[in-house]
Every structure is written in C-alpha cells, then in structure tokens.
Chains A and B, each alone.
Chain A
C-alpha cells in the first residue's frame, strides 16, 4: 500500500484552521395584514441572526471530528463555510491552505461533502452513469475508477443496484450510492452532514462500519455531524460541541464524558448519549 508511507509520517499537520469565523443571516419579518404587505413591496425590515460567532479552531489531518449541537446551533453553517458553500460575514479560514469560499477547482478536487438529506447524484440516470460523469468532472482515470466503484460497492454490499436508475432505489440504497459518489475521488477532507439520517438501524450500522473501515484505510480528515450519538461515539476521535454559534467544548469523547461525570458528582456513571442529551436539554432551557 503506497499510502502507508504517508500514514507513518510522524508530523501531524493542521489542515483546517479558522480565526474569528462568523456568519449572520438576514431574514424578512412581515408584520400582519394587507397594508403591511403592500408596504413590504418597497420597504422591508430585516432582522439578522448570528449563526456562527467568532469561531477559532484548528483541526489536524487524519482525525475524525464529531460536530454536535442542537438544531440551529450553527454546525451546518460551519460545515458549509468550510466546504465553500457559504461565504462568512467576517473572519478567515484555511482548509488545505485554500480559502474555501473562493472555490478554486484545485481545492474542490480534494474535498467532498455528503449531505444526508440531499441527492447529489443525478436522479434520472443510474449510479454507474453518475460515477462516469463524476470521473470526468474530477478528471479521474476511468479504469481505476471502475475498480474503485467495484471495491466500494462490495464493501457496502450494494453491487446489484449500481445499474438501476437512482430514483428507483430505496433511501438506504441511495445513501450508499451517494457515499460511493462522495469517495470516488479519494478526498483528503470529507464533510459528512447527517450521513445516516432517516435510515433503519441495520443500515445505520452498515454505513457506520463502512465509514470506520474506510477511514482506517485511507486516513482522510472527516468532519461529521449527526443526531445519532452512536455515530459520533463510534467514529469520532474528537468532539466539537457547538451551542448558539459558539464552540463550547473541544476534546475527546472519553474526556468529555469523564468531565461531565465529575461535574455531576454523582455515583451513577452516565454514558455519552446521556451526557449529550443533558447538554442539549440545558441548552434549550437557557434559550
């Protein structure tokens, strides 16, 4: 394996770095009634909401980062800024040395983003056709890509549906297809936004196991968000807890659980899922 050379290199380099990264959203607030609607044609009041507030962080290469927070806490915004989808209002970020929102092709070729709720492959054609198109877009060798698809499909046990039109596949099969599509160009950084959402327990576990073994083999840097704490607990090396646009905790999962248990000063040990649940609960009360 040629990649092993890199893996054994002792120096851990920083691949993602942000300083005071912020983003606010504006939205139109319409007061009730016909008159106000008419007024709103030329005169509108906007309110702004801070989605991400002066976030500074560093992420080393080859790590799996679990991003956890309540709905609307800012994790998706952070993910979208780092992958170049969204431009920050202020602050700076470097991912693999690039500013993500400039969307340089050389940068985009090295990353991949998987959005659990969205289709990224083409709806009307079969996955293999989609992959052929992706190979063109990422300028990959067609034969090597074909082999890679075969390997990945075998790992995910879904070789039999590769030639079926995407829209005829079930949600679980589609997710597997999306994962293959996201890994086709061997991204150095992988953003996974809710990769197991809406799937049944067996499918969730399949995908989790696959991701674990894939990461072990290829060592990409992974940023993972999920509402299923099992995903985070089994996959993540490090935990980033985000609340109301701020990072409130950085560290390993085990440390986090240990810390929380210490704070609780109780005899009963709680597991990770329980700690997170309590965290989200207190958060929602403060709001």
Chain B
C-alpha cells in the first residue's frame, strides 16, 4: 500500500512537471494568458467601477468605498484566471472525442489523476507568476488588502480547482455520448462567471439569492478568497467554503466514477 502510494505520488508529480514544461514551451501564449488577459480585464472592470461611483449618490456601496471595489476588481481578475479551466477541459474532451484517449487508458494510470495533476502543475506556476501583479498593484496604489490572508485564500481557490477539474471530468464523460460537447463547456463557464463572483461581488445581490449563491461551492473560486483578501468576508465564511466544496466533491466524484465506467463500456475506441 505504502509503495503503491509512492508510485502514485511520483507519477503525478511527473504529470505536474509535464504541464509546466509543455506550457512554457509556448512562452508568448502563456504570458498573455496569465498576465495580459487579467490585466486587461482588471482595466475594463475598474473603468466600470469609476463610472458607478461617479453616478452614485453616496461614497459607499453596501458599506464599502470605491477603493474596496477597485481592489476587488483587481484581485478577482487574477483569481478568476486561476479558478477556471478552459485549456485542460478542452484537451480532456478532445482526448475522448478524437480517440487519443486510447493511449492513456492502456497505461497503468487514471485519466482523472493524469489531468488533475497537470491542471495543478499548470495553476501552480500560473499562481507564482501572475499573483505578483495584484500584490504589487495593491501595494503601490494602497488598495484595501489583507496581505497575510493571501495564503489561505489561494489554498481555498486551489481546493475549488479540484471541483473544477471534477466538473471537467464529468463533461468529458459526456463526450463519450455527445459530439461537439465543447459548447457545453462555454455555457458552463459563463454560468460560473456569475456564480463564482468574478463579475461582481456576490454580496451585492439583493434578497435571499445573496445567501444562496454564497453558500454554493462555486463562491470558493473567486468571491470567498477575494472577499477574504479585500476584507468583505471573514474566516467563518471561508471555512464554510471549504465545507461546501467538500460536499460537492464527494457527490460529483461518485457521479463521475459511475459515468466514466458507463462511458468506457459503450466506448467504441474511435479512430482506427
């Protein structure tokens, strides 16, 4: 048992390294992806918040001043970058629908672990590189930021990433039955765009929906970690985030294991 865990650990470390190596192979793409994109997003969102505060009668919205929102816009763009998986989800779907998955399932390893480790490796290096920007910007412009809270916030975001990966896994199981499932990825990620709190802080939502959306596991991707860093959210809510992600992980992984088996049984080993 102990030995097989060591084997498992070593190979997954190798997958994570593979992700880092093969992404840095296309340096320009990579840096645009992890730096330019969130910087531009931040810029556009900050323009919106300037306009909102210009038109507002009071100097605060929901009890927070303009600087809090600028800080939220800054951090959320970078967290959202980490908390979403486009590339690997597309790759996973592509493997299933094109049949290249053949070369993975004949090897003594799991499809789930293979891509989870790659995603983690990729996001790890992304975090290292991209987080420099909001840290410097928040420091330079003196935006409301609890720097000591960053590690826990990132930890929650990474925990949420396992959930993101599990959803990707479910989508790729669907690729056994449906062609062109990638459009579902787009739909799903757009929905997550709202649910994670990337678009706007979830606590601005009126009524019962505020509590409901925050209680969902998706808020752990952006709203809870960013809220925690910028001072909108306190520790108990962050812990709730860990708990609700755990529940979602258990349910979706059971579903995934069942669906995967079903998918492979019907699998025709496409492509020669």
Contacts and interface: CB of A to CB of B under 8 A. Distances in A.
Interface of A: 25, 76-77, 80, 83-87, 101, 103, 105-106, 108-109, 111-113, 115, 117-120, 122, 124-125, 129, 132-134, 136-139, 193-194
A124 B22 contact: yes
Contacts of B107: 108, 134, 137-138
Contacts of B187: none
Contacts of B106: 83-85, 108, 111-113
Contacts of B264: 87, 101
Contact of B108 (A122, A137, A193): A137
B269 A136 contact: no
Interface in B218-272: 264-269, 271-272
Contacts of A125: 18, 21-22, 25
Contacts of A25: 268
B102 interface: yes
A118 B272 contact: yes
Given A129-B18, A137-B11, 14 more contacts: A76-B272, A77-B269, A80-B102, A84-B105, A85-B106, A87-B267, A101-B264, A108-B107, A118-B99, A119-B100, A124-B21, A125-B18, A125-B22, A136-B14
Contact of A109 (B108, B265, B269): B108
23 contacts: A77-B269, A80-B102, A85-B267, A86-B269, A87-B266, A101-B265, A103-B105, A106-B108, A108-B107, A108-B108, A109-B108, A119-B100, A120-B103, A122-B18, A124-B22, A125-B18, A132-B14, A133-B14, A133-B18, A136-B14, A137-B109, A139-B11, A139-B108
A50 to B, nearest CB: 13
A105 B7 CA distance: 12
A118 B268 contact: no
Contacts of B102: 80, 85, 113, 115, 118
Contacts of A122: 18, 22
B272 A129 contact: no
A149 B269 CA distance: 29
Looking at B15, B105, B106, B268, the one whose CB has the most chain A CB atoms below 10 A away is B106
A223 to B, nearest CB: 13
Q: Main secondary structure on chain B at its contact with chain A?
A: helix
B27 interface: no
Interface of B: 7, 10-11, 13-15, 18, 21-22, 25, 99-100, 102-103, 105-109, 264-269, 271-272
Given A86-B267, A108-B108, A122-B22, A117 B14 contact: no
A156 B267 CA distance: 35
Contacts of B22: 122, 124-125
Given A118-B100, A136-B10, A136-B14, A124 B25 contact: yes
Nearest to B23: A124
Contacts of A85: 102, 105-106, 267, 269
A101 B263 CA distance: 12
Contacts of A138: 107-108
Nearest to B3: A139
A103 B11 CA distance: 18
Contacts of A76: 269, 272
Nearest to B17: A133
B92 to A, nearest CB: 15
Contacts of B271: 117-118
A111 B272 CA distance: 19
Contact of A86 (B10, B15, B109, B268): B268
A117 B272 contact: yes
A76 B272 CA distance: 7
Contacts of B109: 105, 137
Looking at A87, A111, A137, the one whose CB has the most chain B CB atoms below 10 A away is A137
B7 A139 contact: yes
A115 B18 contact: no
Contacts of B265: 87, 101
A138 B13 CA distance: 14
Given A105-B108, A133-B14, A115 B25 contact: no
A136 B21 CA distance: 16
